[in-house]
Amino acid sequence: MPTRLRRALSAAVLSATVLTVLAVPVANAASTPTTVQPRATCSTRFLPLPDPSCTPGVTNPAVTQSTIGSTICVSGWTATVRPPTSYTNPLKVQGIKDYGYSDTNLADYEEDHFLPLEVGGSPRDPRNLWPEPHAGTKNAFSKDSVENAVKKAVCNHTATLSAAQHALLTNWTTAEAVLGIG
């Protein structure tokens, strides 16, 4: 094969490869702009739990078994550490993108503390916050009742703080059964 033909063929193969990789439609390249949606960086396959690689949950170092009487077991304590929506709403917007949710209405999600404040979750660490959907049967609303029951068990000394945290981080939908309180 002549060198000139080999170079032309190589250039054609390279161009076709680049166009394929960039996903540019060749037939309509001049007339139709292509919009490529960014890929989700967090997976929804774990729902109703967050993707553990994105939202592993983080503890609040001020909350320990020895401090529960002056922290989580004090009525109203979580209000003193809960971040304002001016902090959580931008995280919610980014989280909706990161999880690739098709519904982008902020009202359809709660920027949830995966490890709840009620059992010593970190208030502001983004690794403990995620956009938990309101849709479905196991959702942000049903998780709230589990959080309250688990906090009550910790404060009544029916469950230790570390056992409660572990149960919630492993799978909040089974936490009550695992702790023997539900």
pLDDT computed for residue 29 by the predictor = 36
Question: Look-up: residue for tokens 């609040």?
Answer: 60
Q: How high is the pLDDT of residue 144?
A: 95
pLDDT tens-digit map of 120-172: 999 999 999 999 999 999 999 999 999 999 999 999 999 999 999 999 999 99
The confidence score (pLDDT) of residue 182 equals 79
CA distances from 52 to 31, 35, 89, 171 (A): 42, 30, 21, 11
Would you state the pLDDT for residue 6?
A: 38
Q: Is the pLDDT of residue 32 over 70?
A: no
- Split at pLDDT 50, 70, 90, the class of 56 is very high
Q: What's the chain look like in SS3?
A: CCHHHHHHHHHHHHHHHHHHHHCCCCCCCCCCCCCCCCCCCCCCCCCCCCCCCCCCCCECCCCCHHHHHHCCCCCCHHHHHCCCHHHHHHHHHHHHHHCCCCCCCHHHEEEEECCCHHHCECCCCHHHEEEEECCCCCCHHHHHHHHHHHHHHHHCCCCCHHHHHHHHHHHHHHHHHHHCCC
Please report the pLDDT score of residue 38 as a whole number.
Answer: 53
- pLDDT bucket at 21, cuts 50 / 70 / 90: very low
Residue 70 confidence class, pLDDT cut points 50, 70, 90? very high
- Of 37-46, 49-58, 122-131, the range with the lowest mean pLDDT is 37-46
